[in-house]
Structure 1
Amino acid sequence: MNEQIKQIADRLKGLRDALELQPEEMAQVCNIDTNTYLGYESGVKDIPVSVLHQIAQHYSIELPTLMFGNEPRMSSYFLTRKGKGAAVERTKAYKYQSLAAGFINRKADPFMVTVEPNRNEVPFTLNTHPGQEFNLIIEGKCLLRIGGKELILEEGDSIMFDSMREHGMKALGNKPVKFLAVIL
Protein backbone atom coordinates (compact mmCIF):
# COMPACT_ATOMS: atom_id res chain seq x y z
CA MET A 1 0.00 0.00 0.00
CA ASN A 2 1.26 3.46 -0.89
CA GLU A 3 2.22 5.30 2.33
CA GLN A 4 0.64 8.58 1.17
CA ILE A 5 -2.67 6.84 0.44
CA LYS A 6 -2.53 5.23 3.90
CA GLN A 7 -1.96 8.66 5.51
CA ILE A 8 -4.93 10.15 3.62
CA ALA A 9 -7.05 7.15 4.66
CA ASP A 10 -6.05 7.69 8.31
CA ARG A 11 -7.00 11.39 8.10
CA LEU A 12 -10.33 10.44 6.51
CA LYS A 13 -11.07 7.99 9.32
CA GLY A 14 -9.93 10.54 11.90
CA LEU A 15 -12.32 13.13 10.46
CA ARG A 16 -15.22 10.68 10.56
CA ASP A 17 -14.38 9.74 14.15
CA ALA A 18 -14.07 13.41 15.19
CA LEU A 19 -17.46 14.19 13.65
CA GLU A 20 -18.93 11.04 15.28
CA LEU A 21 -20.32 9.80 11.96
CA GLN A 22 -21.01 6.31 10.71
CA PRO A 23 -19.33 5.09 7.48
CA GLU A 24 -22.78 5.03 5.85
CA GLU A 25 -23.14 8.78 6.40
CA MET A 26 -19.77 9.56 4.79
CA ALA A 27 -20.57 7.24 1.88
CA GLN A 28 -23.88 9.02 1.33
CA VAL A 29 -22.13 12.43 1.14
CA CYS A 30 -19.89 11.00 -1.60
CA ASN A 31 -22.72 9.22 -3.45
CA ILE A 32 -20.91 5.89 -3.15
CA ASP A 33 -21.73 2.61 -1.44
CA THR A 34 -20.50 1.98 2.09
CA ASN A 35 -18.07 -0.80 1.09
CA THR A 36 -16.35 1.51 -1.41
CA TYR A 37 -16.05 4.21 1.26
CA LEU A 38 -14.64 1.70 3.77
CA GLY A 39 -12.11 0.63 1.13
CA TYR A 40 -10.98 4.27 0.87
CA GLU A 41 -10.87 4.71 4.64
CA SER A 42 -8.84 1.54 5.12
CA GLY A 43 -6.32 2.59 2.48
CA VAL A 44 -7.01 -0.53 0.41
CA LYS A 45 -8.55 1.48 -2.46
CA ASP A 46 -7.10 4.57 -4.09
CA ILE A 47 -9.08 7.62 -2.97
CA PRO A 48 -10.11 9.89 -5.84
CA VAL A 49 -9.45 13.60 -5.26
CA SER A 50 -13.07 14.17 -6.25
CA VAL A 51 -14.22 12.17 -3.18
CA LEU A 52 -11.91 14.14 -0.89
CA HIS A 53 -13.17 17.37 -2.47
CA GLN A 54 -16.81 16.38 -1.79
CA ILE A 55 -16.04 15.56 1.84
CA ALA A 56 -14.05 18.77 2.32
CA GLN A 57 -16.84 20.90 0.87
CA HIS A 58 -19.63 19.13 2.75
CA TYR A 59 -17.92 19.36 6.15
CA SER A 60 -16.35 22.82 5.57
CA ILE A 61 -12.74 21.74 5.93
CA GLU A 62 -9.81 22.53 3.67
CA LEU A 63 -8.97 19.94 0.99
CA PRO A 64 -5.21 20.17 1.74
CA THR A 65 -5.95 19.15 5.32
CA LEU A 66 -7.26 15.80 4.05
CA MET A 67 -4.66 15.40 1.30
CA PHE A 68 -1.52 16.62 3.03
CA GLY A 69 -2.31 16.93 6.74
CA ASN A 70 -1.55 20.66 6.81
CA GLU A 71 -3.92 23.44 7.78
CA PRO A 72 -3.84 26.42 5.40
CA ARG A 73 -2.90 29.64 7.20
CA MET A 74 -2.31 32.36 4.59
CA SER A 75 -5.13 34.79 3.85
CA SER A 76 -3.54 37.54 1.73
CA TYR A 77 -1.56 35.33 -0.70
CA PHE A 78 0.21 32.00 -0.94
CA LEU A 79 3.15 31.55 -3.30
CA THR A 80 4.05 28.16 -4.75
CA ARG A 81 7.42 28.01 -6.50
CA LYS A 82 7.90 25.80 -9.54
CA GLY A 83 7.94 22.15 -8.52
CA LYS A 84 7.48 22.97 -4.82
CA GLY A 85 3.74 22.48 -4.17
CA ALA A 86 2.56 19.91 -1.65
CA ALA A 87 2.45 16.66 -3.61
CA VAL A 88 0.72 13.34 -3.32
CA GLU A 89 1.11 10.37 -5.63
CA ARG A 90 -2.17 8.50 -5.31
CA THR A 91 -1.22 5.78 -7.76
CA LYS A 92 1.71 5.17 -10.08
CA ALA A 93 -0.41 6.78 -12.81
CA TYR A 94 -1.45 10.05 -11.09
CA LYS A 95 0.58 12.63 -9.20
CA TYR A 96 -1.14 15.72 -7.74
CA GLN A 97 0.72 18.86 -6.70
CA SER A 98 -1.40 21.42 -4.85
CA LEU A 99 -0.70 24.97 -5.97
CA ALA A 100 -2.59 26.72 -3.15
CA ALA A 101 -2.48 24.35 -0.17
CA GLY A 102 -1.50 27.11 2.26
CA PHE A 103 -4.23 29.59 1.30
CA ILE A 104 -7.22 29.53 3.64
CA ASN A 105 -10.86 29.80 2.48
CA ARG A 106 -10.07 29.17 -1.20
CA LYS A 107 -12.92 29.37 -3.71
CA ALA A 108 -11.11 26.87 -5.98
CA ASP A 109 -8.51 24.11 -5.65
CA PRO A 110 -5.74 24.34 -8.29
CA PHE A 111 -3.48 21.33 -8.89
CA MET A 112 -0.67 20.49 -11.28
CA VAL A 113 -1.46 16.90 -12.26
CA THR A 114 0.86 14.46 -14.00
CA VAL A 115 -0.63 11.34 -15.58
CA GLU A 116 1.80 8.62 -16.55
CA PRO A 117 1.22 6.61 -19.74
CA ASN A 118 -0.86 3.49 -19.22
CA ARG A 119 1.38 0.78 -20.64
CA ASN A 120 -1.00 -2.04 -19.66
CA GLU A 121 -4.03 -0.47 -21.37
CA VAL A 122 -6.06 -0.80 -18.18
CA PRO A 123 -9.30 1.24 -18.47
CA PHE A 124 -9.08 4.57 -16.70
CA THR A 125 -11.20 5.42 -13.68
CA LEU A 126 -14.16 7.76 -14.10
CA ASN A 127 -15.03 10.19 -11.30
CA THR A 128 -17.75 12.69 -10.49
CA HIS A 129 -17.87 15.54 -7.99
CA PRO A 130 -20.02 18.60 -7.44
CA GLY A 131 -19.09 21.82 -9.17
CA GLN A 132 -16.98 22.50 -12.20
CA GLU A 133 -13.46 21.67 -13.35
CA PHE A 134 -11.03 23.48 -15.60
CA ASN A 135 -8.07 21.66 -17.23
CA LEU A 136 -5.23 23.24 -19.22
CA ILE A 137 -2.81 20.84 -20.91
CA ILE A 138 0.79 21.95 -20.26
CA GLU A 139 2.69 18.98 -21.74
CA GLY A 140 1.77 15.84 -23.64
CA LYS A 141 -1.42 14.53 -25.17
CA CYS A 142 -4.37 12.86 -23.46
CA LEU A 143 -7.74 11.28 -23.94
CA LEU A 144 -10.42 12.90 -21.78
CA ARG A 145 -13.74 11.16 -21.37
CA ILE A 146 -16.69 13.26 -20.19
CA GLY A 147 -19.98 11.40 -20.03
CA GLY A 148 -20.07 9.35 -23.21
CA LYS A 149 -17.86 11.76 -25.20
CA GLU A 150 -14.12 11.24 -25.79
CA LEU A 151 -11.89 14.20 -26.58
CA ILE A 152 -8.20 14.35 -27.51
CA LEU A 153 -6.43 17.26 -25.79
CA GLU A 154 -2.93 18.47 -26.65
CA GLU A 155 -0.52 21.07 -25.28
CA GLY A 156 -2.24 24.44 -24.97
CA ASP A 157 -5.78 23.01 -25.13
CA SER A 158 -8.12 23.75 -22.24
CA ILE A 159 -11.56 22.61 -21.21
CA MET A 160 -14.12 23.66 -18.61
CA PHE A 161 -16.83 21.16 -17.71
CA ASP A 162 -19.57 20.19 -15.30
CA SER A 163 -17.75 17.77 -12.99
CA MET A 164 -20.98 16.00 -12.03
CA ARG A 165 -20.60 14.29 -15.41
CA GLU A 166 -18.43 11.17 -15.22
CA HIS A 167 -14.94 12.09 -16.35
CA GLY A 168 -11.49 10.57 -16.53
CA MET A 169 -8.21 11.07 -18.36
CA LYS A 170 -5.34 8.98 -19.62
CA ALA A 171 -2.03 9.91 -21.25
CA LEU A 172 -1.59 9.00 -24.89
CA GLY A 173 1.67 7.85 -26.41
CA ASN A 174 4.72 7.11 -24.33
CA LYS A 175 4.93 10.52 -22.64
CA PRO A 176 3.30 11.65 -19.41
CA VAL A 177 0.69 14.36 -19.69
CA LYS A 178 0.95 17.34 -17.33
CA PHE A 179 -2.03 19.63 -16.83
CA LEU A 180 -3.35 22.36 -14.59
CA ALA A 181 -6.62 21.26 -12.97
CA VAL A 182 -8.77 23.77 -11.13
CA ILE A 183 -11.68 22.33 -9.16
CA LEU A 184 -14.40 24.89 -8.46
Structure 2
Amino acid sequence: MALNEMDLKQLVDELSLTQDISLAEIPDIDLYMEQLTSFMDNRLGTHKRDEQDKILTKTMINNYTKAGLVMPPINKKYNQRHVILLILIYYLKNILSINDIKSLFEPVLNNISTPEDDLISLEDIYSTFLEVKNIELASFYENMIEKSNMIKEKTDLIDKDGKHTAELFLIVIMLVAQANAHKKLAEKIIDNYFSKEPS
Protein backbone atom coordinates (compact mmCIF):
# COMPACT_ATOMS: atom_id res chain seq x y z
CA MET A 1 0.00 0.00 0.00
CA ALA A 2 1.34 3.44 -0.96
CA LEU A 3 1.98 6.20 1.54
CA ASN A 4 0.43 9.27 -0.06
CA GLU A 5 0.43 12.85 1.24
CA MET A 6 -2.88 12.39 3.07
CA ASP A 7 -1.59 9.25 4.82
CA LEU A 8 1.62 11.03 5.76
CA LYS A 9 -0.33 14.03 7.08
CA GLN A 10 -2.50 11.71 9.18
CA LEU A 11 0.57 10.00 10.70
CA VAL A 12 2.16 13.37 11.51
CA ASP A 13 -1.16 14.62 12.94
CA GLU A 14 -1.25 11.56 15.21
CA LEU A 15 2.16 12.63 16.57
CA SER A 16 0.68 16.07 17.32
CA LEU A 17 -2.21 14.52 19.23
CA THR A 18 0.07 12.94 21.84
CA GLN A 19 -0.70 14.60 25.13
CA ASP A 20 1.51 17.18 26.74
CA ILE A 21 1.15 18.10 30.38
CA SER A 22 1.06 21.86 30.79
CA LEU A 23 2.49 23.46 33.92
CA ALA A 24 -1.04 24.32 35.05
CA GLU A 25 -2.01 20.63 34.88
CA ILE A 26 0.77 19.45 37.18
CA PRO A 27 -0.83 18.85 40.59
CA ASP A 28 0.02 21.47 43.19
CA ILE A 29 -0.43 18.88 45.93
CA ASP A 30 2.25 16.35 46.79
CA LEU A 31 1.71 12.84 45.46
CA TYR A 32 2.55 9.40 46.80
CA MET A 33 4.45 7.04 44.47
CA GLU A 34 1.31 5.25 43.22
CA GLN A 35 -0.49 8.54 42.58
CA LEU A 36 2.54 9.85 40.71
CA THR A 37 2.88 6.79 38.43
CA SER A 38 -0.89 6.82 37.77
CA PHE A 39 -0.82 10.52 36.91
CA MET A 40 2.06 10.07 34.48
CA ASP A 41 0.51 6.98 32.89
CA ASN A 42 -2.86 8.69 32.45
CA ARG A 43 -1.43 11.91 31.07
CA LEU A 44 1.34 10.51 28.85
CA GLY A 45 -0.37 7.25 27.88
CA THR A 46 -0.81 8.36 24.26
CA HIS A 47 3.00 8.18 23.91
CA LYS A 48 2.97 4.41 24.37
CA ARG A 49 3.74 2.37 21.29
CA ASP A 50 1.70 -0.52 22.72
CA GLU A 51 -0.22 -1.25 25.92
CA GLN A 52 2.69 -3.11 27.56
CA ASP A 53 4.90 -0.01 27.52
CA LYS A 54 5.41 1.71 30.85
CA ILE A 55 5.63 5.48 31.12
CA LEU A 56 7.08 5.49 34.63
CA THR A 57 7.53 2.76 37.24
CA LYS A 58 8.57 2.75 40.87
CA THR A 59 11.89 1.13 39.83
CA MET A 60 12.54 3.88 37.25
CA ILE A 61 11.88 6.62 39.82
CA ASN A 62 14.17 4.91 42.35
CA ASN A 63 16.92 4.56 39.71
CA TYR A 64 16.61 8.24 38.72
CA THR A 65 16.82 9.20 42.40
CA LYS A 66 19.94 7.03 42.93
CA ALA A 67 21.52 8.58 39.82
CA GLY A 68 20.93 12.07 41.25
CA LEU A 69 18.51 13.14 38.49
CA VAL A 70 15.64 13.54 40.94
CA MET A 71 15.78 14.42 44.61
CA PRO A 72 14.42 11.89 47.12
CA PRO A 73 10.73 12.23 48.02
CA ILE A 74 9.81 14.31 51.04
CA ASN A 75 7.91 12.16 53.55
CA LYS A 76 7.32 9.63 50.73
CA LYS A 77 5.66 12.34 48.64
CA TYR A 78 6.62 13.93 45.31
CA ASN A 79 6.07 17.64 44.61
CA GLN A 80 5.73 19.66 41.39
CA ARG A 81 9.51 19.87 40.98
CA HIS A 82 9.73 16.07 41.06
CA VAL A 83 6.94 15.78 38.47
CA ILE A 84 8.53 18.30 36.06
CA LEU A 85 11.92 16.58 36.33
CA LEU A 86 10.36 13.17 35.72
CA ILE A 87 8.49 14.40 32.63
CA LEU A 88 11.69 15.91 31.21
CA ILE A 89 13.60 12.69 31.96
CA TYR A 90 10.86 10.69 30.22
CA TYR A 91 11.44 12.63 26.99
CA LEU A 92 15.22 12.88 27.27
CA LYS A 93 15.86 9.20 28.03
CA ASN A 94 14.50 8.22 24.62
CA ILE A 95 17.57 9.89 23.11
CA LEU A 96 20.18 10.41 25.83
CA SER A 97 21.86 8.14 28.38
CA ILE A 98 21.23 8.69 32.10
CA ASN A 99 24.82 10.00 32.41
CA ASP A 100 24.21 12.50 29.59
CA ILE A 101 20.98 13.70 31.22
CA LYS A 102 22.83 14.16 34.52
CA SER A 103 25.63 16.11 32.76
CA LEU A 104 22.99 18.29 31.11
CA PHE A 105 21.06 18.99 34.34
CA GLU A 106 24.00 19.66 36.69
CA PRO A 107 25.19 23.13 35.57
CA VAL A 108 21.67 24.40 34.95
CA LEU A 109 19.87 23.08 38.02
CA ASN A 110 22.95 23.19 40.31
CA ASN A 111 21.48 21.58 43.45
CA ILE A 112 18.57 19.58 42.09
CA SER A 113 16.67 19.84 45.41
CA THR A 114 16.55 23.62 45.65
CA PRO A 115 15.12 25.96 43.03
CA GLU A 116 16.89 29.05 44.41
CA ASP A 117 20.19 28.39 42.63
CA ASP A 118 18.81 27.20 39.27
CA LEU A 119 20.46 28.94 36.31
CA ILE A 120 17.05 28.85 34.60
CA SER A 121 13.92 28.04 36.57
CA LEU A 122 12.70 24.49 36.06
CA GLU A 123 9.29 25.90 35.12
CA ASP A 124 10.87 28.04 32.37
CA ILE A 125 12.88 25.07 31.10
CA TYR A 126 9.74 22.95 30.92
CA SER A 127 7.58 25.66 29.26
CA THR A 128 10.29 26.30 26.66
CA PHE A 129 10.64 22.58 26.02
CA LEU A 130 6.89 22.26 25.29
CA GLU A 131 6.97 25.33 23.05
CA VAL A 132 9.98 24.10 21.03
CA LYS A 133 8.47 20.61 20.77
CA ASN A 134 5.27 22.03 19.26
CA ILE A 135 7.18 24.28 16.83
CA GLU A 136 9.19 21.24 15.66
CA LEU A 137 6.01 19.22 15.07
CA ALA A 138 4.46 22.10 13.10
CA SER A 139 7.34 22.19 10.60
CA PHE A 140 7.80 18.41 10.55
CA TYR A 141 5.02 17.75 8.01
CA GLU A 142 6.41 20.14 5.38
CA ASN A 143 9.88 18.63 5.75
CA MET A 144 8.47 15.11 5.47
CA ILE A 145 6.55 15.94 2.27
CA GLU A 146 9.67 17.40 0.68
CA LYS A 147 11.78 14.37 1.58
CA SER A 148 9.12 11.82 0.63
CA ASN A 149 8.78 13.47 -2.81
CA MET A 150 12.55 13.10 -3.26
CA ILE A 151 12.27 9.42 -2.27
CA LYS A 152 9.38 8.90 -4.74
CA GLU A 153 11.60 10.24 -7.53
CA LYS A 154 14.36 7.82 -6.53
CA THR A 155 11.94 4.87 -6.71
CA ASP A 156 10.28 5.80 -10.03
CA LEU A 157 12.10 3.07 -11.93
CA ILE A 158 11.10 0.28 -9.55
CA ASP A 159 8.22 -1.91 -10.75
CA LYS A 160 4.82 -1.03 -9.30
CA ASP A 161 4.59 -4.02 -6.93
CA GLY A 162 7.86 -3.23 -5.19
CA LYS A 163 7.76 0.59 -5.45
CA HIS A 164 5.60 1.24 -2.36
CA THR A 165 7.63 -1.07 -0.13
CA ALA A 166 10.86 0.56 -1.35
CA GLU A 167 9.42 4.04 -0.64
CA LEU A 168 8.38 3.10 2.90
CA PHE A 169 11.74 1.46 3.54
CA LEU A 170 13.61 4.58 2.37
CA ILE A 171 11.36 6.86 4.46
CA VAL A 172 12.13 4.82 7.59
CA ILE A 173 15.88 4.84 6.75
CA MET A 174 15.71 8.63 6.20
CA LEU A 175 13.95 9.16 9.56
CA VAL A 176 16.52 6.99 11.35
CA ALA A 177 19.39 8.90 9.70
CA GLN A 178 17.80 12.20 10.72
CA ALA A 179 17.19 11.01 14.32
CA ASN A 180 20.78 9.72 14.51
CA ALA A 181 22.19 13.06 13.31
CA HIS A 182 20.16 14.94 15.94
CA LYS A 183 21.21 12.47 18.67
CA LYS A 184 24.90 12.70 17.73
CA LEU A 185 24.79 16.51 17.71
CA ALA A 186 23.10 16.56 21.16
CA GLU A 187 25.79 14.18 22.48
CA LYS A 188 28.59 16.32 21.00
CA ILE A 189 27.20 19.45 22.68
CA ILE A 190 26.98 17.58 26.01
CA ASP A 191 30.51 16.19 25.59
CA ASN A 192 32.00 19.57 24.64
CA TYR A 193 30.10 21.91 26.92
CA PHE A 194 28.45 19.98 29.76
CA SER A 195 30.76 17.10 30.67
CA LYS A 196 33.21 17.83 33.47
CA GLU A 197 36.86 18.12 32.55
CA PRO A 198 39.00 15.25 33.88
CA SER A 199 40.87 16.32 37.06
TM bucket, shorter chain: under 0.3
TM-score normalised by the chain length of structure 2? 0.26
Query: Greater CA radius of gyration, 1 or 2?
Result: 2
Name the structure, 1 or 2, with higher relative contact order (CA <8 Å, separation 6+).
2
The structure with the largest helix share of the pair is 2
